[in-house]
């Protein structure tokens, strides 16, 4: 029985992770793309799509996207986002993204893989005509990893469009595909049966039913094939053939209960009630909530009755009646628990995401419904999709709630930054302006010096390189000359000669040291350049920091207000959809439990009738025995 639950839960939870086919690039250039893949490989589709969306928005917003590292993976990323959306069951958006890839300039294999995924979306969404149109657009090379899956999908699409002969042809070519072992043969059998090739179809179902494998899924399809073929033979009253096929079903497999029940009926219809008791007696010891087990609880006393063991039959009908009563009560309590919201609360528990078998354990929680009765329903496509939607909505609700908290924190940070920077900035700006004007002045001086030195390369000007001391001496000499000749008198010859000698010494020094001084001036200019470079860097760093200070608290109000509005709107919508989706799940579950309760109520009537009849016959037989004695 446990295997049945495992299979169902595998079916429920494996589908989403199997959906994505994106692989990591051989050489990853963009780490943020790698981060989106990290989330995708864990099946965390929301974060994978959100990260990749952010990265793509930023990439498209760049002036030169060709310089961005995502540029190397852009086709891959566009394809991946569609693939992740598909895995997140956003079929409409994924369809658009993948269509964009198909119509873009991409490699043949990438394009064909995208069409394959698009076709799969249409097929999953019950749009077989669109799916057919999509697969017919595949031309040229197909990536090896999807080749067999594509063939199988093509066949399924043809079957869904009623073109069984074409589907059968494709499936014939897939008979050696190891990954499809059992599934290709079973589907070929069904396609042939639908195409009117009854004999050949049965042969393939029979072949599927004889597959030797240790793979759980192959064994499951093998059992299913035997059950389908066995039931078909049973309906056609080929009881011997039905028994042989049904007895091939694995005794611990998910279809074993139904096959044991059918096998018993195959014997019973041939009048072999003793033989019928073998599978039925095994069946009645199994989980009482199973529909086949419950049916067997009536079938066993029925067989004893046919074998004239009326007293035993009467006792067994009594046992069945008691158990049915317990189950009816259990179902009533389960329906009540669902209506009171315990089912949904249990489904939304975190454990469900951590442990696939948790659905089975759900029944152990107080006030939760009897999940054994719901397993078949829970394995159905509609329930799975609805449940996944419910869980996704619950996840969205939590995210939106957290984001509102994040926005509060952002606003607090902004306020703290404003409170810190605003009083400081005016004084800083004033000081900066003062330093800025000083700096500009010095830079202008430096530029003038540079220009002068350049000009001196062409026209040497030793006087420009006179030291300050020499300039002072020169000024003093000029003043002395002026003073001595101020009243128009001529300078005394002795003094004139001395002054000329002094000026001569001065000029001698300036002219003879010109080359050395000129070289030194260049060296000093180079040193100055280094200082100026450092200064410019500090200046740029200050401007950036100053800008960042303002940007750290200004310009967010509108964005945050908008985000708040969007989050509030989304929360309202999510709450509404969560309620509707939850109600839908509850309705499905209550409906299923009610159907099972009604069935059990019918069984109760039959058991009562059987018990009365058996007691009656047992009493009559006893009386006859006494009379004959």
Query: Distance between CA atoms of 511 and 352, rounded to whole angstroms?
Result: 95
Q: Which positions from 501 through 520 interact with other proteins, judged by CB under 8 A?
A: none
User: What is the sign, positive or negative, of the torsion defined by CA atoms of 160, 164, 169, 173?
Assistant: positive
Residue of 35, 149, 436, 470 that binds other proteins (CB under 8 A): 35
Residue 492 carries which DSSP code? P
Q: Is 543 in the site for other proteins (CB under 8 A)?
A: no
Q: Which positions from 570 through 589 interact with other proteins, judged by CB under 8 A?
A: 570, 573-574, 577, 580-581, 584, 587-588
Query: Distance between CA atoms of 199 and 203, rounded to whole angstroms?
Result: 6
How far, rounded to the nearest angstrom, does the alpha carbon of residue 326 sit from its chain's CA centroid? 43
Query: Distance between CA atoms of 361 and 371, rounded to whole angstroms?
Result: 9
Query: Distance between CA atoms of 532 and 440, rounded to whole angstroms?
Result: 11
Q: Which stretch in 20-28, 186-194, 270-278, 520-528 sits in contact with other proteins by CB under 8 A?
A: 20-28
Residue of 10, 16, 53, 539 that binds other proteins (CB under 8 A): 53
Q: Is 40 in the site for other proteins (CB under 8 A)?
A: yes
Q: Is 622 in the site for other proteins (CB under 8 A)?
A: no
Residue of 528, 563, 604, 608 that binds other proteins (CB under 8 A): 563
Q: Is 69 in the site for other proteins (CB under 8 A)?
A: yes
Minimum distance of other proteins from residue 18's CB (angstroms): 14
Q: Is 567 in the site for other proteins (CB under 8 A)?
A: yes
Q: Is 89 in the site for other proteins (CB under 8 A)?
A: yes
Minimum distance of other proteins from residue 175's CB (angstroms): 25
Planar angle of CA 432, 433, 438, nearest 5 degrees:
95
Where b means 16+ CB within 10 Å and e means fewer, 423-451 reads eeeeeeeeebeeeeeebeeeeeeeeeeee
Q: Which positions from 217 through 246 interact with other proteins, judged by CB under 8 A?
A: 227-228, 231, 234-235
Minimum distance of other proteins from residue 173's CB (angstroms): 28
Residue of 72, 410, 421, 615 that binds other proteins (CB under 8 A): 410
Q: Is 620 in the site for other proteins (CB under 8 A)?
A: no
Query: Distance between CA atoms of 320 and 304, rounded to whole angstroms?
Result: 14
Minimum distance of other proteins from residue 262's CB (angstroms): 5
Q: Is residue 387 a contact partner of residue 379, using CB atoms and an 8 Å limit?
A: no
Q: How many chain residues bind other proteins (CB under 8 A)?
A: 88
DSSP character string of 98-149: HHHHHHSS--HHHHHHHHHHHHHHHHHTT-HHHHHHHHTT--S---HHHHHH
What size, in residues, is the chain? Answer: 629
Q: Which stretch in 91-99, 340-348, 469-477, 615-623 sits in contact with other proteins by CB under 8 A?
A: 91-99
Residue of 265, 304, 372, 514 that binds other proteins (CB under 8 A): 265
E-strand ranges in 62-197 read: none
Q: Which positions from 266 through 285 interact with other proteins, judged by CB under 8 A?
A: 268
Q: Is 67 in the site for other proteins (CB under 8 A)?
A: no
Residue 160 carries which DSSP code? H
Q: Which positions from 327 through 356 interact with other proteins, judged by CB under 8 A?
A: none
Name which of 89, 86, 107 is nearest 98 in CA terms: 86
Residue of 222, 243, 399, 597 that binds other proteins (CB under 8 A): 399
Number of neighbouring beta carbons within 10 Å of residue 563: 16
Q: Is residue 571 a contact partner of residue 400, using CB atoms and an 8 Å limit?
A: yes
Measured from the CB atom, the residue of 37 and 191 that comes closer to other proteins is 37
Residue of 6, 50, 177, 535 that binds other proteins (CB under 8 A): 50
Minimum distance of other proteins from residue 437's CB (angstroms): 26
**Residue 271 burial (10 A CB sphere; 0-12, 13-18, 19+):** exposed
Residue of 80, 90, 314, 348 that binds other proteins (CB under 8 A): 90
Q: Which positions from 370 through 389 interact with other proteins, judged by CB under 8 A?
A: 376-377, 380, 382, 385-386, 389
Where b means 16+ CB within 10 Å and e means fewer, 25-64 reads beeeebebbeebbebbeebbbebbbebbeebbeebeeeee
Q: Is residue 82 a contact partner of residue 101, using CB atoms and an 8 Å limit?
A: yes
Minimum distance of other proteins from residue 148's CB (angstroms): 21
Query: Distance between CA atoms of 328 and 52, rounded to whole angstroms?
Result: 51
Minimum distance of other proteins from residue 171's CB (angstroms): 21
Q: Is 299 in the site for other proteins (CB under 8 A)?
A: yes
Measured from the CB atom, the residue of 39 and 204 that comes closer to other proteins is 39
Number of neighbouring beta carbons within 10 Å of residue 13: 20
Q: Is 454 in the site for other proteins (CB under 8 A)?
A: no
**Phi/psi at 289 (nearest 5 deg)?**
-80, -15
Minimum distance of other proteins from residue 554's CB (angstroms): 11
Minimum distance of other proteins from residue 256's CB (angstroms): 13
Residue of 38, 72, 421, 542 that binds other proteins (CB under 8 A): 38
Measured from the CB atom, the residue of 174 and 393 that comes closer to other proteins is 393
Query: Distance between CA atoms of 390 and 378, rounded to whole angstroms?
Result: 13
Q: Which stretch in 35-43, 110-118, 178-186, 506-514 sits in contact with other proteins by CB under 8 A?
A: 35-43
Residue of 62, 441, 478, 548 that binds other proteins (CB under 8 A): 548
Minimum distance of other proteins from residue 130's CB (angstroms): 15
Query: Distance between CA atoms of 112 and 140, rounded to whole angstroms?
Result: 8
Measured from the CB atom, the residue of 498 and 568 that comes closer to other proteins is 568
**Residue 176 burial (10 A CB sphere; 0-12, 13-18, 19+):** exposed
Minimum distance of other proteins from residue 307's CB (angstroms): 14
Minimum distance of other proteins from residue 369's CB (angstroms): 15
Q: Is 46 in the site for other proteins (CB under 8 A)?
A: yes
Residue of 288, 356, 396, 621 that binds other proteins (CB under 8 A): 396
Q: Which positions from 158 through 197 interact with other proteins, judged by CB under 8 A?
A: none
Where b means 16+ CB within 10 Å and e means fewer, 349-380 reads eeebeeebebbbebbeeeebbbbbbbbebbbe
Measured from the CB atom, the residue of 509 and 552 that comes closer to other proteins is 552
Measured from the CB atom, the residue of 499 and 560 that comes closer to other proteins is 560
Residue of 9, 184, 256, 292 that binds other proteins (CB under 8 A): 292
């Amino acid at each position: 029985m446990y295997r049945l639950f495992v299979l169902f839960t595998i079916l429920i939870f494996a589908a989403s992770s199997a959906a994505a086919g994106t692989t990591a690039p051989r050489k990853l250039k963009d780490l943020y793309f790698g981060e989106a893949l990290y989330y995708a490989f864990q099946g965390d589709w929301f974060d994978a799509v959100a990260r990749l969306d952010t990265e793509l928005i930023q990439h498209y917003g760049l002036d030169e996207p060709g310089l961005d590292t995502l540029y190397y993976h852009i086709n891959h990323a566009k394809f991946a986002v569609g693939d992740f959306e598909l895995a997140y069951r956003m079929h409409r958006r994924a369809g658009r993204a993948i269509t964009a890839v198909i119509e873009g300039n991409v490699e043949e294999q990438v394009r064909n893989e995208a069409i394959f995924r698009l076709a799969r979306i249409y097929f999953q969404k019950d749009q077989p005509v669109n799916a057919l149109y999509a697969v017919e657009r595949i031309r040229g090379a197909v990536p090896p990893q999807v080749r067999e899956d594509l063939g199988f999908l093509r066949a399924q699409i043809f079957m869904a469009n009623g073109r069984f002969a074409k589907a059968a042809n494709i499936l014939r070519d897939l008979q050696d595909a190891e990954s499809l072992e059992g599934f290709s043969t079973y589907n070929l059998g069904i396609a042939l049966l639908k195409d009117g090739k009854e004999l050949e179809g049965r042969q393939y179902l029979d072949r599927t039913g004889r597959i030797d494998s240790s793979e759980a899924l192959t064994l499951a399809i093998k059992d299913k094939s035997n059950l389908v073929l066995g039931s078909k033979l049973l309906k056609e009253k080929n009881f011997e053939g039905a028994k042989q096929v049904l007895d091939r079903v694995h005794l611990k497999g998910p279809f074993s209960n139904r096959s044991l029940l059918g096998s018993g009926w195959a014997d019973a219809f041939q009048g072999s009630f003793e033989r019928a008791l073998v599978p039925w007696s095994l069946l009645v010891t199994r989980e009482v909530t199973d529909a086949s087990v419950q049916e067997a609880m009536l079938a066993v006393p029925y067989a004893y009755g046919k074998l004239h063991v009326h007293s035993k039959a009467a006792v067994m009908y009594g046992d069945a009646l008691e158990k049915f009563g317990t189950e009816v009560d259990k179902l009533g309590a389960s329906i009540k628990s669902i209506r009171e919201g315990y089912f949904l609360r249990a489904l939304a528990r975190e454990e469900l995401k951590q442990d696939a078998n948790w659905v089975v354990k759900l029944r152990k929680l107080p006030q939760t419904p009897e999940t054994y009765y719901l397993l078949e329903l829970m394995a159905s496509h509609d329930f799975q999709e609805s449940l996944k939607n419910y869980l996704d909505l619950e996840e969205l609700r939590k995210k939106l709630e957290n984001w509102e908290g994040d926005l509060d924190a952002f606003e607090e940070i902004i306020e703290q930054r404003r409170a810190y920077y605003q009083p400081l900035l005016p004084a800083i700006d004033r000081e900066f302006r003062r330093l800025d004007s000083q700096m500009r002045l010095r830079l202008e001086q430096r530029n003038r010096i540079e220009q002068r030195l350049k000009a001196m390369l062409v026209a040497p000007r030793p006087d420009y390189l006179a030291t300050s001391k020499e300039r002072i001496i020169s000024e003093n000499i000029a003043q002395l000359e002026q003073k001595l000749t101020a009243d128009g008198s001529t300078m005394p010859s002795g003094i004139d000669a001395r002054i000329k000698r002094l000026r001569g010494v001065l000029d001698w020094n300036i002219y003879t040291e010109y080359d050395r001084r000129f070289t030194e001036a260049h060296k000093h200019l180079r040193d100055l350049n280094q200082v100026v470079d450092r200064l410019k860097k500090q200046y740029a760093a200050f401007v950036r920091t100053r800008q960042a200070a303002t940007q750290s608290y200004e310009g967010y109000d509108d964005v945050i207000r908008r985000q708040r509005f969007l989050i509030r709107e989304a929360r309202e919508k999510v709450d509404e959809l969560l309620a509707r989706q939850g109600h839908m799940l509850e309705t499905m579950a209550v409906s299923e439990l009610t159907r099972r309760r009604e069935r059990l109520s019918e069984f109760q009537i039959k058991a009562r009738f059987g018990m009365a009849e058996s007691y009656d016959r047992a009493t009559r037989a006893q009386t006859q025995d006494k009379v004959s004695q």
